[in-house]
Amino acid sequence: MGEWFTSFDDAWPHFLAREEPLESFHEKLPEDPEAVGEGWLFVPPDEVRDAAAEVQERLARFDWLALTPRHFLHVWVAGTHGVDVDELATRPPFPAAYARVACFHDAVVAEVEAPELAGVPAPPTYLPHLTLAYVREPVPPEPLRAVLRALREQRLGTGTVDELLRVRFPFARSTVLEPWTVVERRPLRR
């Protein structure tokens, strides 16, 4: 399994130089169809999800990528890895910019620039991002690298984060991108 990055400025050059195959996100998931996950997230605005769909059209040619369905587009805030939700919830709504397209070991993402998130305690490997596609199986990175170079500076838009959602979602290989259930809503302090 690839290392966790501490900055997008480390992740992008690693992807450009990568020689080993990309890693399967799905292989890391449980096979049990009853498996569930839970955590905190926020949902980008419709305009950002529309822009994400345009980027995903360029990725659709790769059958080894699972494109993130519109209903599942989100920015993970906390679960087993992430920011201190209690502290974040005491802050006012904040802007988030959905910026450059990048690639981790097992997913194509858009970087999320939100200074408010950077000011909340989190592990150094917490990099806020919007996952656009998950790698289904180990594959050479070169075909994807050619496409992502052209998309690197594509900006997906901005939005205001005013609510955090705690969700429960199917977490098995066969169910992971199915809709989640909202367990709790926490509006940010106004």
The pLDDT tens digits of the residues spanning 93-148 come to: 999 999 999 999 999 999 999 999 988 988 999 999 999 999 999 999 999 999 99
CATH of the domain at 31: 3.90.1140.10
- The residue segments making up the domain with residue 44 are 8-187
Our CA angle for 114, 38, 121, nearest 5°, is 35
Is 144 domain-assigned? yes
Q: Return mean pLDDT, the chain.
A: 93
Instruction: Tell me if 11 sits within 8 A of 126, measured CB to CB.
Output: no
Determine the Cα–Cα distance for residues 40 and 182; give it in Å rounded to an integer.
Answer: 10
Nearest alpha-carbon partner for 129 in 142, 114, 115: 114
Integer Rg of the chain from CA: 16
pLDDT digits (tens), the chain, 190 positions: 456 798 999 999 999 999 999 999 999 999 999 999 999 999 999 999 999 999 999 999 999 999 999 999 999 998 777 899 999 999 999 999 999 999 999 999 999 999 999 889 889 999 999 999 999 999 999 999 999 999 999 999 999 999 999 999 999 999 999 999 999 999 998 6
Query: What distance separates the 2 farthest-apart alpha carbons in the chain?
Result: 48
pLDDT for the residue numbered 82: 85
Residue 139: inside a domain: yes
Inside any domain, residue 3: no
| Inside any domain, residue 28 | yes
Tell me which DSSP letter residue 84 carries.
-
Question: Quick check: pTM over 0.85?
Answer: yes
Q: How many domains are contained in the chain?
A: 1
Q: Residue 138's CB: how many other CB atoms inside 10 A?
A: 13
- 2 within some domain: no
| 46 in any annotated domain | yes
